[in-house]
Amino acid sequence: MSEAVTRTATTSPGLLASLDPLLREWLPRQRWFAGKGRPVTGFSLVAATELLPPTAKLGLYHLLVRAHQPLTVGAPTHPGDCYQLLIGLREALPPRLAPALIGHVEEGPLTGRTAYDALYDPLPAELLLEAIRSGNRIGGLSFERDPHQEIREGLVARVMTAEQSNSSIVYGDTFILKLLRRVVPGVNPDLELPLALAREGCPRVPAPTGWLQAELAGEPYTLAVLQPFVQGASDGWELALRELAKGEDFGAEAHALGRATAEVHTALARALPTVTLGHQQLHLLVDGMIERLEAAVQAVPALRPYAPGLRSAFTALGDLAAEGTTWTAQRIHGDLHLGQCLRSATGHWSLIDFEGEPSKPLSERRLPQPTARDIAGMLRSFDYAAHSTDLPVPGWAEACRAAYCSGYAEVSGVDPRTDPVLLRAYETDKAIYEVVYEARHRPDWLQVPMAAVARYASSDPI
């Protein structure tokens, strides 16, 4: 894709040259940086917008920059991912902003100034909310809002520090702004699907209050989404671990979460087109699962003894398709697990973060898929929680699994367990992904998905 650099008239053409040496050191240290393990050799500017007038004491730039990295260590440099940055410039940083330091500029037009991640600074963060509230357009940036939702002035901003693939700012416990860090052209599902669910009146997903977009080279980019903040909520992962630590049953919550998932799936099926997956489509789906298995065996040799049994989970699905079985596919969450669910103080469950797996292409994340993929993700999450406590509770994951599927069936009319071949295939595919992830990033956790792999290879999904 050809990219045109957009700037406001006051943006210095030497801006990136000044920041380049600092960003090469700072960017790979960020948790949301996707190219870890490969050196950053340079940057190209996709878009730059000056958010404050040049006469202001504080400099503030919104940047989209493409990091140049080799595809593998030692390979030629390749234009890689595009990242969204909010860069602040001060003469010196106050101590409270020390964690946001990017570095001291020593060359170019910004020499002598200190660059930092401005999301940590309440003033720039509050400027973003005010721009959404006012529906501003600044340079190539469009700040949009739902006119039916009120945004009060004067809400104090604070950055959340627990994010990984993105960054979030909370405004006065009223709103949360999710700023996408790695951006790609196209409408992001994290805006598209909550908007569709809001039109359907689905209460299980906070309706977007506002959003930030840009158009570059004729293509839309979703940059940020503002939604109501669920004050006092616990995410499902934290809640499950607390109950496990106390030896408490989680069945009622799992049942309620199953109902919530089914309500979201039902609303998405009403709001957006569904398709029928026949033999040809299932053949491609199964081939993809087998390819991921083969790659995982190469990456993690401990999988090799289980490979024939794991493959059978996929070929069994292909056999059903060859016999004429079809499945319905629709838009789904795409990366559902306990950490993507919030329980309010009143017991109401909400689903959040509809971005899908950020590592997958946007076109793939927006494809209709069987709801079994979401369900499998949640069932795997119960298994992870069960193995995350020092005092395991026998049968905990199995009880959660049954309660979740029962709750789902009460709303959808279909129990996921009545299609065991499809569910086993998706659970197996998810467990294989987990094995590779844990082997690379958290070897101490590898035994959790490996235990599941042993079960799935023996055709026992529990």
Instruction: Supply the pLDDT for residue 264.
Output: 98
Instruction: Supply the pLDDT for residue 335.
Output: 95
Distances from the Cα of 58 to the Cα of 50, 54, 136, 258, 287, angstroms: 11, 9, 20, 49, 54
Q: What share of the chain is helix, strand, coil (3-state, %, to 5)?
A: 45, 20, 35
Tens digits of residue pLDDT in 387-425: 988 778 889 999 999 999 999 999 999 999 999 999 999
Could you tell me if 373 and 285 are in contact, meaning their C-beta atoms sit under 8 angstroms apart?
Answer: no
Looking at residue 118, what DSSP letter applies? Answer: G
Which regions of 149-268 does DSSP assign to beta strands (E)?
157-159, 166-171, 175-180, 182-183, 210-216, 219-228, 234-235
Tens digits of residue pLDDT in 313-346: 999 999 999 999 999 999 999 999 999 999 999 9
Name the nearest CA neighbour of 352 among 182, 237, 183, 212: 237
Q: Residue 17, exposed/middle/buried by CB under 10 A (0-12, 13-18, 19+)? A: middle
Give me the sign of the Cα torsion angle 363, 368, 372, 378: positive
Instruction: Supply the pLDDT for residue 11.
Output: 53
* Residue whose structure tokens are 């992870």: 384
Instruction: Supply the pLDDT for residue 305.
Output: 97
pLDDT one digit per residue (tens) for the chain, 462 residues: 344 444 443 455 688 989 999 999 999 999 999 888 888 999 999 999 999 987 788 999 999 999 999 877 666 666 789 999 999 999 999 999 999 999 999 988 889 999 999 999 999 999 999 999 999 999 999 999 999 999 999 899 999 987 678 999 999 999 999 999 999 999 999 999 999 999 999 999 999 999 999 998 889 999 999 999 988 899 999 999 999 998 889 999 999 999 999 999 999 999 999 999 999 999 999 999 999 999 999 999 999 999 999 999 999 999 999 999 999 999 999 999 999 999 999 999 999 999 998 778 899 999 999 999 999 999 999 999 999 887 788 899 999 999 999 999 999 999 999 999 999 999 999 999 999 999 988 999 999 999 999 999 987 544
Q: Residue 94, exposed/middle/buried by CB under 10 A (0-12, 13-18, 19+)? A: exposed
Could you tell me if 369 and 410 are in contact, meaning their C-beta atoms sit under 8 angstroms apart?
Answer: no
Instruction: Supply the pLDDT for residue 440.
Output: 87
Could you tell me if 132 and 144 are in contact, meaning their C-beta atoms sit under 8 angstroms apart?
Answer: yes
Q: Global pTM?
A: 0.91
Length of the chain: 462
Could you tell me if 198 and 248 are in contact, meaning their C-beta atoms sit under 8 angstroms apart?
Answer: no
